[in-house]
Every structure is written in C-alpha cells, then in structure tokens.
A and B are shown apart, each in its own frame.
Chain A
Amino acid sequence: MLKTIYILELKRLLNKKTIGLFLIFSLLSLYFIQIGINNYKNVIENKETFQNFERLKLKQYNNYNQYGTYGFRILFIPSPLSIYFVNSSTISELTSNVDSGERLNIYNSFKGRTLFAEKSGGFKDFSGIMLLLGSLLVLYLGYEAFIHKDYLRFISGFVDYKIFFFSIVLSRVLNLILFFLFNAGISWVLLKINGIEFLSSEYIHLSIYIGILVLMMVFFLALGTIAGSFKSSFVGFVMVIISWFVLVFLIPGIVNTVTAEKSDNIVSNYNLELQKLKSIMDFEKLALKKVGITTENNIESVRKLIEKYWNDEFKQIQAFEKRLENEMEKNIRLFQNLSLIFPSTFYLSTSNEISSKGYENFILFFDYIQTLKEKFVRFYIDHRYYSDAPVDKPTVVESFIKGDENLFYAKSLLPKSFFKGVILILFYVIGLLTISYFRLKKSLQL
C-alpha cells in the first residue's frame, strides 16, 4: 500500500510547477555553494599572505622589547564546511593580536576591502537558503498534501484512513529526504570540481547537518499538513505564511535579542581593560620606585620583580580574561538552550557550530590565544631578562611562532545540548502529525 501511494504521490509531485520550483531551489543552493567555495579559497590564499607578512614583520624587530610590544597575530581559519555557512554563522573573519602587555585583542578588520565584505547573520548561503526558502517550500508541500478534500474522501473510500494518512505523509517525507540528499550530492560534486576535500570528521559533521536539515523539514512538513487539514484552504494558506514568518524570522530574532540583552551582564571590554591596565600600571609604578630603568647593573633586582609580575599580576590579568570567558560561555549556553525550544532556532544554532565559525569555536580560539599569550609572555621574559643579549643593543629576534602556531584551524562542532534538541524535534513532529491526523479526519466530514 505504501508503495502504491508513494508512486501516486511521486507522480503527483512530478508536475512542471513542482519540478520547476525544485530546480530553481537547487540552482540557487549551488550558486551559494560556489560563493562559499570562493570565500573559502580566499581564506586559504590569505593564510599564505598572512604568514609571509608575519615572518617579514619579525625581521623588522631589533630587540625583544619591540617584539614584546608589537607581538604577533593569530588568524582564525574556518573548516571547509564553512562553505555551506558563509553568511549565517557568527564569525565572518577573525584575527587576534598577542603581545606581552595586558591587552588581548580579538578583532574583525573593517579597513580596506573588508569594510565591504558581507556581514554575518543573513540567509545568503546554502544553509540560509535551506531555512528561508526550503521551509516555505516544505510547508507548502505539507499544506498541499491535504487541501484537496474531495480527492482524499474518494481515496479513503478505497484505503483505510489511517494507512492512507500515514502513507501520504511518509511518501512526502521520503521525497523530501531524496530531494535534500540530491542537493547535498550535487553540492559535493561542485566541491570536488573546485578541488575542495573534506576530512572524514568533516563528512560526519556534514551528514549530521543534512540529518538536522531533514528533521527540521519534516517538522515544517508536519506543520504544513495541519494547515492543509483546515476545511478552508484559504485559512490554511494564511497559517502557512504566518507560521513561516514566525518560525524563520520572529522567533530567531527574539532569541537573538534575549541573548544580546542578557549579555549586558557580561563585564564590558572597557571595564576589563581598565582593571587590567590598573593592575599593570600599579606594577610599573612599583617597579619604577624599586629598581628604576633596567640596566646591566640592576638586572638581578629586575628579574626578581619580573618573576613577581609573572606569578602575581600576570596571573591576575589571566583571571580577568578567564572571568570574561566564563561569562561569555554562560551566555552561549543560554543562547543554545533557548534555541532548543524551536526547530528553526535549533537548526540555526547547530549550523552555527557545524560551520566552525560559531560560539564554541570562538571560546576555543579565545582559550588558544590565552595559552599562546602565557607562553609568549614567558618567552619574552626569558629572552628579554635572562638571555646574554645586551639590553640596549640590537639583537636577532627568534620567532616565538613555530610552524603553523599562528593559525587556529577551527573544527566543526556540535552545540552542547544537541541531543536534547533532536529529541525535542521528534516530539514536535509526532505531536503535529497527531493533531493533523485528527483535524484532517474532522475536516473530511461534509
């Protein structure tokens, strides 16, 4: 019976209008994949330029004092999976400057061409198009499955209503899965043509992403079936539009606003910088009072003072940054927990992390910079105050960075509450289909 109804439903879907819609949708997603590919290739090319520039910069330093003052930069390199999430993830482009001072700079450059780069948080990528247009298409598919009441009444005279209802839903779900797998397949072909390779872990995350995408679409299909089960097809259509708007725009907007408002509780960057500056200024006043300017004669006293700084003031500065990190993490958890509630926000939250340009990777990047900073400050102290090089004469500066240490290769991740989100969507789907089953039966009554 399922096979018979599946064939009928497939033939019903394979009309010029639906095929046209699907083709346009697929072409649009391919277009955005290509944009993502170009964007990623740019990042990889920039990586080479970045590292060459850092090496050149190092050659300009005359001594470790200059190296410590100007420091070095770290570049955030997203995973190749970011091709699917160019515009919709949190991080677009990220760099950090690490020096021996109290400041920890993580920034997005707005100078030059980057001023005009696409800003994050939109729909203009594969993932965004899937949500924006895919959800509308699928809502319509669900709605269209049940609006033709005379047809359903006629067929239900020949097939048990329960079997008929679930066969139609399963057929549409199957066709949905095939369609999105087809899109994933052609996107993979495009990636191969452009020479982009994924690691096995990236394939796993891509599969998880496709799985979540399909699950979210099944949710929208189930919602669409409720719209189709109204006696009046006009009322059902209005419900389609309203639910699309609410789930795709309104609710994600509310979640983002709540998260942004709660982030007011996080210590401000200015306050943090002020606290760190006060710490270091107090130390510098003390150092000036006790030993004055560093010379070869007072180097032992300076070393003792520097070790005090390393054990006290520097640890205090690190604690301030750690506090900021903890507060940011708390807000990230809030965002992820709020995002769990609705499938569209859960999809956005999961896509954000799978893109490798999400909040989890930002925290890992932050941690990585902190670790490097600690090592760099120690490196600076050792070379500035413990080496044989004369304090006031030029010297060859050894690079702190070995290999690709100044590149942070972000990996695709999942949000912490991922499995809860999946289970919740499944509950939603079951609930919606149950409502749709009983509503449709009632609406088939004359």
Chain B
Amino acid sequence: MNLHIEEGEAYVLLSSGDTAVNHLINIFSGMERDFKGTVDIDGINILKGWNECSKNIVCLSPGSQWPLDMKVGNIISFFRRRMDICEDEFEELYIKLNMETISQKRISEVDEVEWRKILFALAKLKKSKNYIFRDFVKGMPLDFNLEFKKNIQLLKKSGCSILYISDDVFVAPEIGDRIGFMKKGKLLLELKAAKMKKMRLKELYFQFLVER
C-alpha cells in the first residue's frame, strides 16, 4: 500500500476484512512495531520517533470494553489534569457535553451517542494534527452523522489529516475527499469523493472488479 494523506484532507479507506485494518490500527497506535515498509507521521518515522509521533496522532474506534461502573466525570477529570486544559476550554467542553447531567452517570448508563461524543471531544483535547477513525458513525443516528461530518470539516480547515476506515460505501463520499478500496492489505482502487458521488453502485462495483 502506498498512501499519502495531505494536510487538511480526509481519506476514507474502505475494507471488508478486519485483518489488514487491525494491522494498520496497531501500527498507528504503536502496538505493532514489526512490519515492512515505512510509516511517517508529519515526516517522522513512526518506528524511530514514536514519542514524537504519538503526540501527533489520535486513534478512535468505538468499543465496549470500558470499565462500565466508572463515572464519566472521573474520565473527564483525568483528561483535564493530563491535558492541562485551561478553565475556559474546560467550561466550553463542560457545556458542550452537557456534563452537569452526564458527569455523575456511570459509563454503563450513558447512551452510545453521548459516549461517542465524549470520546471525540476528549480525543480533540490532544490537539493532534492526525486523526484515525474506525467505523465511528456506524449504527449511529443521522443527527450524529451530520454533527460528525461538521466536526471533520472543522478539523480539515484547521489543517488536520483524517483517515477514516470503514466498510460503509455510502458514508465514504460524505466524509472523505478521497476514497480508497483495500482488499487483503492492497489498495486496489482510489477515487475522488466527487466522482464517486456521481457513480451508481453498479458502476462502482464493476470498476472495483476491473481493478481487482
């Protein structure tokens, strides 16, 4: 795979299998260091300069393995201390996430939409320039999808690079500027979002088959 994501660009990588995607996420989160090839974050090699790279990258994939009896307020307080957030920024976050009601709730009591909003808000606290999402809007209601797209636009405007990994061919042109189709770790097809929006599904499928 040969992939370069520009500053201010959102790239959607479509893949049906999990193995190659898991490898990618493991590499970007620093959990896998045994791979062939080069991965650079803002020009720094991920293997040689992991400490630097880790500051500039955020990986977000929703999952259910959280300590469900932990209070949401405790997680927010941890990030507040860890990220050294100023009062104003914290106030803004507090109001945005409706923390007055949510902070006393346990993670098991928070619904999935609220929880993903919290995760995204916490991820943004890192002020990274590079974001990796995996199926973040999958199964979510329309208003969440719309809000997420708005946030992606804002991140792009601030010069962030976004890699969105999914198997949802309908969401791809809504989020990404470019869309790549990956199969067994190989990038088979790449399309611009504008072109993909005009294509019918059948056309898209045939083009994919040709490239394959």
Q: Do the two chains belong together in a single complex?
A: yes
Name A's B-contacting residues (CB within 8 A): 1, 4-5, 7-8, 11-12, 15, 17, 144, 147-151, 153-154, 156-161, 441-442, 444-446
Note all chain B residues with C-beta closer than 8 A to A157: 29, 54, 57-59, 123, 126
Q: Cβ of B81 and Cβ of A4 under 8 Å apart?
A: yes
The stretch among B41-49, B63-71, B152-160, B201-209 that forms the contact with chain A is B63-71
User: Given the complex of chains A and B, what is the CA–CA distance between A159 and B54 in angstroms?
Assistant: 9
User: Given the complex of chains A and B, what is the CA–CA distance between A8 and B79 in angstroms?
Assistant: 10
Q: Cβ of A4 and Cβ of B65 under 8 Å apart?
A: no
Note all chain A residues with C-beta closer than 8 A to B82: 1, 4, 158-159
Known contacts A4-B82, A8-B78, A445-B26; A151 and B66 CB within 8 A of each other: yes
Q: Let me know if B146 is at the binding interface, CB within 8 A.
A: no
B26 contacts which of A11, A154, A159, A446 (Cβ < 8 Å)? A446
User: Given the complex of chains A and B, what is the CA–CA distance between A7 and B76 in angstroms?
Assistant: 12
Q: Let me know if B32 is at the binding interface, CB within 8 A.
A: yes
A12 contacts which of B18, B65, B67, B123 (Cβ < 8 Å)? B67
User: Given the complex of chains A and B, what is the CA–CA distance between A154 and B70 in angstroms?
Assistant: 15
Chain B residues with a Cβ closer than 8 Å to the other chain, count: 37
Task: For A145, give the chain B residue with the smallest CB separation.
Answer: B67
Q: Cβ of A12 and Cβ of B70 under 8 Å apart?
A: yes
Chain B interface, >50% SS class: mixed
The smallest beta-carbon distance between B57 and chain A, in angstroms, is 8
Q: Cβ of B65 and Cβ of A149 under 8 Å apart?
A: yes
Interface residues of B in 1-51 (CB under 8 A from A): 18, 21-22, 25-26, 29-32, 51
Give 14 A-B contacts (CB < 8 Å), ordered by A residue: A8-B74, A11-B70, A11-B77, A12-B67, A148-B66, A149-B63, A154-B119, A157-B29, A157-B54, A158-B79, A158-B83, A160-B51, A444-B29, A444-B31
User: Given the complex of chains A and B, what is the CA–CA distance between A7 and B69 in angstroms?
Assistant: 16
Q: Cβ of A150 and Cβ of B71 under 8 Å apart?
A: no
Q: Cβ of A15 and Cβ of B69 under 8 Å apart?
A: yes
B78 contacts which of A4, A148, A160 (Cβ < 8 Å)? A4
Note all chain A residues with C-beta closer than 8 A to B69: 15, 17
User: Given the complex of chains A and B, what is the CA–CA distance between A15 and B108 in angstroms?
Assistant: 13
Q: Cβ of B65 and Cβ of A446 under 8 Å apart?
A: no
B67 contacts which of A7, A148, A153, A156 (Cβ < 8 Å)? A148
Note all chain B residues with C-beta closer than 8 A to A17: 69
Q: Cβ of B67 and Cβ of A151 under 8 Å apart?
A: yes
The smallest beta-carbon distance between B74 and chain A, in angstroms, is 4
A151 contacts which of B18, B58, B65, B126 (Cβ < 8 Å)? B65
Q: Cβ of B78 and Cβ of A153 under 8 Å apart?
A: no
User: Given the complex of chains A and B, what is the CA–CA distance between A153 and B29 in angstroms?
Assistant: 8
A7 contacts which of B26, B31, B78, B79 (Cβ < 8 Å)? B78
In the complex, given contacts A151-B66, A446-B18, what are 9 additional A-B residue pairs having Cβ atoms less than 8 angstroms apart? A1-B82, A8-B75, A8-B77, A11-B70, A157-B58, A157-B126, A158-B82, A158-B126, A442-B31
Q: Cβ of B22 and Cβ of A446 under 8 Å apart?
A: yes
Interface residues of B in 69-93 (CB under 8 A from A): 69-71, 74-75, 77-79, 81-83
User: Given the complex of chains A and B, what is the CA–CA distance between A26 and B132 in angstroms?
Assistant: 47
Q: Cβ of A148 and Cβ of B22 under 8 Å apart?
A: no
Note all chain B residues with C-beta closer than 8 A to A158: 79, 82-83, 126
User: Given the complex of chains A and B, what is the CA–CA distance between A161 and B29 in angstroms?
Assistant: 10
Q: Cβ of B65 and Cβ of A150 under 8 Å apart?
A: yes
User: Given the complex of chains A and B, what is the CA–CA distance between A202 and B57 in angstroms?
Assistant: 57
Q: Cβ of A11 and Cβ of B126 under 8 Å apart?
A: no
Pick the 8 closest A-B CB pairs, nearest first. A150-B63, A446-B22, A150-B65, A11-B74, A8-B78, A151-B66, A445-B26, A445-B31
Known contacts A12-B70, A158-B83, A158-B126; A150 and B31 CB within 8 A of each other: no
Note all chain A residues with C-beta closer than 8 A to B81: 4, 7
Q: Cβ of A156 and Cβ of B29 under 8 Å apart?
A: yes
User: Given the complex of chains A and B, what is the CA–CA distance between A148 and B51 in angstroms?
Assistant: 24
A148 contacts which of B65, B106, B123 (Cβ < 8 Å)? B65
Note all chain A residues with C-beta closer than 8 A to B21: 446
User: Given the complex of chains A and B, what is the CA–CA distance between A441 and B32 in angstroms?
Assistant: 9
User: Given the complex of chains A and B, what is the CA–CA distance between A82 and B18 in angstroms?
Assistant: 60
Note all chain B residues with C-beta closer than 8 A to A151: 65-67
